Amino acid sequence: MSKQTPSQTVGPFYAIGLTRETLNVMAVEGSQGERIRIEGQVLDGDGVAIPDVMVELWQANSYGRYKHPDDKQGKPLDPTFTGWGRSGTDERCFYSFETIKPGPVPGNDDTVQAPHVNVVIFARGMLVHAFTRIYFDDEAANASDAVLLSIKNKARRRTLIAQRGARDGRTVYRFDIRLQGGIETVFFDM
């Protein structure tokens, strides 16, 4: 019997090396926009929470501008907002981010995309990470977002919508990511 090497299997490396430093606080006191928390679990096909998962977010600021040199929009940048974060799952298999609600960003052909967050999921056993988006259930612009509308099955669109709630006077959006099964989250090829 041969022993598998790291090139033949994936994980559990995230909790050991990639999520030691807290990188899930993207907005601080003074960041412009509505402060929100995004949290959830990554679930397998049976609906069981998966431990040792790493979730990354990349998003625009409250004005709809990314903190990236390729974003040449005339919209303001917020120097206190990172626009990127990383969270490992905790002992209850939850990930979480302290951020702001993003503004709308330009789409193709002079369209505007609904406010959303770009997500990358890394987990043991996944040789290729998964890409998805988080939209917000209280955004009217979801009805005309080209990416959401490209998903023909309306029930599947709901897998990209975070549910707004409140805890301790703060806005919390719950977004569970399902890697398999009948209500699998919509994933995109990048």
> pLDDT per residue over 71-104, tens digit each?
999 999 999 999 999 999 989 999 999 999 999 9
* Residue-level pLDDT at 123: 87
pLDDT tens digits, 23-66: 999 999 999 999 999 999 999 999 999 988 999 999 999 999 99
Contacts of 148 (CB under 8 A, 6+ apart): 114, 135, 142, 157, 160
| Band (18; pLDDT cuts 50, 70, 90) | low
Diameter of the chain by CA atoms? 61
φ/ψ of 82, rounded to 5, equals -80, -35
Q: For 10-17, what is the mean pLDDT? A: 50
Give the pTM: 0.89
Is the model's pLDDT at 13 over the cut of 80?
A: no
Per CATH, domain 15-178 is 2.60.130.10: yes
What is the pLDDT at residue 109?
A: 86
Whole-Å CA distances, 78 to 19, 60, 122: 25, 10, 28
Contact criterion met (CB below 8 Å) for 83 and 67: yes
Strands 177-178 and 35-43: parallel
- pLDDT tens by residue, 134-177: 999 999 999 999 999 999 999 999 999 999 999 999 999 999 99
